[in-house]
Amino acid sequence: MRHLVQSVQLPFKLQNTSANRDLVKSIGADYIIDYAEQDFSDNGEYYDIILDAVGNLPFSKCRRSLTKTGRAVLVIPTLGTIFRSLANSRLACGAAGESKEALGFLLELVDSGNIIPVIDTVYPREKVAQAHRYVDMSICRYVDMGHKKGNVILAFDS
């Protein structure tokens, strides 16, 4: 997200809870909309990009808050949303293509500090079963409720 903020050079708003305020400020948000207190689609503002990385925003809600040339990017869409995106240029969704070049580009962004990954926990390879249990628990507790705070990393010796 920091790369997006620095690329477009515009004020950046992030919808999150006040409990995560410090985290979202640290990754580049200029303004925070606390979704527990305010519905971004009902605040009278319009956005060039609405990015849902959690999977809890339907396109119908995003559409009414987009500028005329704005786009909604839904990282975890439903099957119906994927089909809708084929006929709607204002909606982008699904997984990005994978390539060696794309991975290299992402690594450059991380190395330069333009993307700062948010890491929840790092497990050594020997604790893969414990990491798997933690992810399963996290999915039930945090991801499904929209409260995911970072990724779980499995570290391998180089």
Domain co-membership, 72 together with 100: yes
Number of H-type helices and E-type strands within the chain = 6, 7
Domain co-membership, 108 together with 143: no
Cα(82)–Cα(141) distance, integer angstroms: 26
User: Are residues 115 and 109 in contact, defined by beta-carbon separation less than 8 angstroms?
Assistant: yes
List, for residues 93-106, the tens digit of each pLDDT value: 877 778 999 889 98
Nearest to 74 by CA among 88, 53, 101, 89: 53
Report pLDDT for 6: 33
Q: Which of 51-60, 77-86, 145-154 has the lowest mean pLDDT?
A: 145-154
**Residue 37 pLDDT greater than 90, yes or no:** no
Domain co-membership, 131 together with 86: no
Residue 144, token pair as written in the block: 């499904």
Q: What is the domain extent for residue 130?
A: 118-158
The number of domains in the chain is: 2
Domain co-membership, 52 together with 130: no
List, for residues 107-128, the tens digit of each pLDDT value: 898 899 887 788 888 999 999 8
Domain co-membership, 136 together with 158: yes
Domain co-membership, 113 together with 124: no
